[in-house]
């Protein structure tokens, strides 16, 4: 079994990004500028945005954060987005999700200039991705493709099962793996909560992308020997034996499934680091465009 080391792969990608950014600065060009908007005080969101800021600076990308109160109105947020859309110094920005209930997420995403939408959520970027055109692709699927490329995992003609149909991971992942490309040409089955006889489907899979949002959902008796497992999930499970009182786990029963897998991502340290690295790559692409 080969452990897919997301930290090592992310470090490699970030080194490539840092080299490109340094070359831009050497030519007296402006360093890329990534902005994050954080509304409210969700602890997970705060941690994630801080990680993005640290990663940005490590590769020479300028990073700024707008921290707004949870009481910020939808109108105020839209005004800030309009300002960033028109700020020539800003190359890309994200609005960290989730947002407070009184703010319409769809309206916010649609208001972002798709050329600065480094999260890849805008309908224009999603549409371009579906058509196979140049687009800013959402960071987690992009990071997964990079992991498959780094570990030379063949996708052409393979049976791929994607667990979960979210607009952030599952749906774009199924499209990217099925289209004609280097990390594509696979036969993809998209499964979800309504899928019947799920085990019959997963047992035939050469590659499984688990993004269903349920801790340790994928068990060893649901996979075949030699399967490649990409675990997107991350959950905090109470554990009295752990120093922090909890442990982190994914959507896959790692201890059992890893005994049958040819390749598998750990949680943490698998897909997570690649998501941030891919976001930085999108910022660089946005700058070039």
Q: What is the pLDDT of residues 68-116, one digit of tens each?
A: 999 999 999 999 999 999 999 999 999 999 999 999 999 999 999 999 9
Q: Where in the chain do CATH 3.40.50.720 domains reside?
A: 139-271
User: To which H or E segment does residue 142 belong?
Assistant: helix 139-150
More confident of the two residues 243 and 275: 275
What's the pLDDT score for residue 285?
A: 94
**CA dist., res. 166 & res. 164, Å (int):** 6
For residue 42, the tally of other CB atoms under 10 A from its CB is 17
Query: Does 20 have pLDDT greater than 90?
Result: yes
What's the pLDDT score for residue 43?
A: 85
Judge contact between 191 and 204, C-beta under 8 A.
no
Considering the four listed CATH numbers 3.40.50.620, 3.40.50.10860, 3.10.450.50, 3.30.56.10, the one that applies to the domain covering 28-113 is 3.40.50.10860
What's the pLDDT score for residue 241?
A: 81
For residue 176, the tally of other CB atoms under 10 A from its CB is 24
pTM of the model: 0.92
More confident of the two residues 44 and 54: 54
Residues with a known catalytic role: 52, 96, 119
What's the pLDDT score for residue 276?
A: 94
What's the pLDDT score for residue 218?
A: 97
pLDDT digits (tens, 9 = 90+) for 155-202: 999 999 999 999 999 999 999 999 998 889 999 999 998 999 999 999
**CA dist., res. 119 & res. 106, Å (int):** 14
Sign of the torsion angle spanned by Cα atoms 128, 134, 135, 140: positive
Span 268-279, average pLDDT: 95
Q: What is the CATH code of the structural domain delimited by 139-271?
A: 3.40.50.720
Secondary-structure percent of the chain, ordered helix, strand, coil, rounded to 5? 40, 20, 40
The separation between CA 50 and the C-alpha centre of its own chain, rounded to angstroms, equals: 16
SS3 55: helix
Q: Where in the chain do CATH 3.40.50.10860 domains reside?
A: 28-113
Span 26-35, average pLDDT: 95
Residue whose pair of structure tokens reads 């140049």 in the numeric block:
134
Pick the closest to residue 94 from 127, 31, 136 (CA basis): 136
Residue whose pair of structure tokens reads 């990217």 in the numeric block:
176
């Amino acid at each position: 079994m080969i452990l897919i080391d997301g930290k090592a792969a992310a470090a490699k990608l970030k080194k490539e990004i840092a080299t490109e950014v340094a070359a831009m600065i050497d030519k007296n060009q402006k360093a890329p500028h990534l902005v994050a908007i954080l509304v409210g005080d969700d602890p997970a969101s705060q941690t994630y945005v801080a990680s993005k800021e640290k990663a940005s600076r490590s590769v020479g990308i300028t990073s700024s954060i707008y921290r707004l109160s949870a009481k910020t109105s939808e109108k105020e947020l839209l005004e800030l987005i309009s300002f960033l859309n028109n700020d020539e110094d800003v190359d890309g920005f994200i609005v960290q999700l989730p947002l407070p209930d009184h703010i319409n997420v769809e309206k916010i995403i649609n208001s972002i200039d798709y050329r600065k939408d480094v999260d890849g959520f805008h309908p224009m970027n999603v549409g371009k991705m579906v058509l196979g055109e140049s687009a800013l692709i959402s960071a987690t699927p992009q990071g997964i493709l990079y992991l498959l490329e780094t570990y030379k995992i063949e996708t052409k003609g393979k049976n791929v099962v994607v667990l979960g149909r979210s607009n952030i991971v599952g749906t774009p992942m199924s499209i990217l793996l099925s289209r004609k490309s280097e990390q594509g040409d696979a036969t993809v089955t998209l499964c979800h909560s309504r899928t019947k006889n799920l085990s019959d489907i997963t047992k035939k899979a050469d590659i499984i992308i688990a993004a269903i949002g349920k801790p340790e959902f994928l068990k060893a008796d649901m996979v075949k020997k030699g399967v490649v497992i990409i675990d997107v999930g991350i959950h905090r499970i109470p554990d009295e034996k752990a120093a922090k009182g909890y442990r982190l786990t994914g959507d896959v029963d790692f201890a059992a499934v890893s005994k049958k897998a040819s390749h598998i991502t750990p949680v943490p340290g698998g897909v997570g680091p690649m998501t941030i690295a891919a976001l930085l790559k999108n910022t660089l692409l946005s700058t070039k465009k």
